[in-house]
Amino acid sequence: MKVSQRSHVPPFAVMDILAAANARRAAGASVLNLCAGEPSTGASEVVRQRAAELLAGGDLGYTESMGSPALREAIAGHYRRWYDVEVDPARVAVTTGSSGGFMLAFLAAFDVGDRVALARPGYPAYANILAALGCEVVDLDCGPQTRYQPTVEMLAALDPPVDGLIVAGPANPTGTLIDPTALAELTAWCSEHGVRLISDEIYHGITYPATDGPGAATVAASPDAVVVNSFSKYWAMTGWRLGWLLLPEDLAAPVDALAGNVALCPPALAQHAGVAAFSPEGYAAARANVAQYAQSRRLVLDRLPELGWSRVAPADGAFYVYADVSATGLRSPDWCARALDEAGVALTPGTDFDPAHGEDWVRLSFASSPSVVAEAVDRIVAWQQTL
């Protein structure tokens, strides 16, 4: 029987490592997981309490395809509160996590054969979803000279030109932000040249030093760009599978139609409980999480000399340190496999994020508690001394 060519995308290595770490833990081994971009705290008390109330007697039937009106209003209020940007709730589409948001945005914005540019290193699902949809992925080799972010000059040099651009700030795996001026230049260039800009903003709110706001520029006010965001990172609601899109007017109706056909609606329980994330208690819990990430981040950065990691991407935001481990003499997949087997620490190889240069790099997630991160670094330092 036939298996589609479009399904032949690389697996996400972090999920394989996570499964191996879980198997080792189930067998009784001590494993410290720094591979997944998953906050260890989980959803705030106010969100969990609201979910419990809904389970006890709430209406958990289908919502509108684009999401419940109450949640869409709350998301619009969030942009007013954080960014001083007025967003029409009709432009908000609630999605099944940011992953579902990317799928809907790509389906609505691009046709088979369209060329879409993105930074390398970068989040692998961008390229893999686009490839599965028949788009041509155009890698932009972004290094320290541009702080691992794309530039207008890179886009202008492309021949043939591209139909779309994906940017991320803070970015995964590098943690770098896009300078507000540079983001404005990219947004203007894309509008002028008919290039659809899709901005991944799922790590907004997680920046260093910690702030009470997003700490990152947004393209929410752009009439042409798409914003992707999620409850998974700042609000630590990973398994709730809840995200959203801010859509330009020309994509709202296509996304509405696609969403209704693909999934009917996002999970109703998560939607109704998610409104509580925008309460004072919800914001306070998220700020406390960011303060914890800041402690863990400092623990790692202070020990870089001991780790021997000299080339490290700027960790402006998110909760990752992306570092070159080639001085150990190991390729990153081998480094990660041995670190798990011999030190009981799970990290992600850079090959997930950069097929060209990723064999030199690993990604460490410091989304766990400072005590877990500190012990993991102790183990890595001791283990690397045996290599």
pLDDT digits (tens, 9 = 90+) for 267-315: 999 999 999 999 999 999 999 999 999 999 999 999 999 999 989 999 9
Between 344 and 212, residue with greater pLDDT = 344
| 3-class DSSP assignment, residue 172 | coil
pLDDT exceeds cutoff 90 at 148:
yes
Residues β-bridged to residue 363: 322, 348
**Backbone phi, psi, residue 345, to 5°:** -125, 130
- Selection from 73, 101, 116 nearest residue 258 by Cα: 101
The mean pLDDT value for 183-203 works out to 98
Q: Among the residues of 231-344, which ranges form H helices?
A: 249-262, 268-274, 280-302, 304-307, 332-338
Burial category of 139 from C-beta neighbours within 10 Å (exposed 0-12, middle 13-18, buried 19 and up): middle
Name the DSSP letter for residue 234: T
Beta bridge pairs of residue 207: 317
Domains of the chain: 5-43+282-384 (3.40.640.10), 60-278 (3.40.640.10)
Model pLDDT, residue 13: 75
Task: Give CB contacts under 8 A, 24+ apart, made by 58-62.
Answer: 58/269, 58/272, 59/268, 60/268, 60/269, 60/272, 61/268, 62/264, 62/265, 62/268
| Residue keyed to tokens 């993105």 | 118
Please determine, for residue 385, whether its predicted confidence score (pLDDT) is greater than 90.
yes
Residue 347 has pLDDT above 90, yes or no: yes
Exposure string over 308-330, b if 16+ CB within 10 A, otherwise e: ebeebbbbbbbbbbbbbbbebeb
Q: Would you say 225 and 251 are in contact if contact means Cβ atoms under 8 Å apart?
A: no
For residues 72 and 88, is the Cβ–Cβ distance under 8 A? no
- DSSP-assigned letter for residue 346: E
Tell me: the pLDDT tens digits for 205-250?
A: 999 998 888 999 999 999 999 999 999 999 999 999 999 999 999 9
Beta bridge partners of 166: 118, 198
| Mean pLDDT computed over every residue of the chain | 96
Q: What is the largest CA-CA distance in the chain?
A: 59
3 state DSSP class of 200: strand
98 pLDDT above the threshold of 80: yes
Tell me the pLDDT band of 119, cut-offs 50, 70 and 90: very high
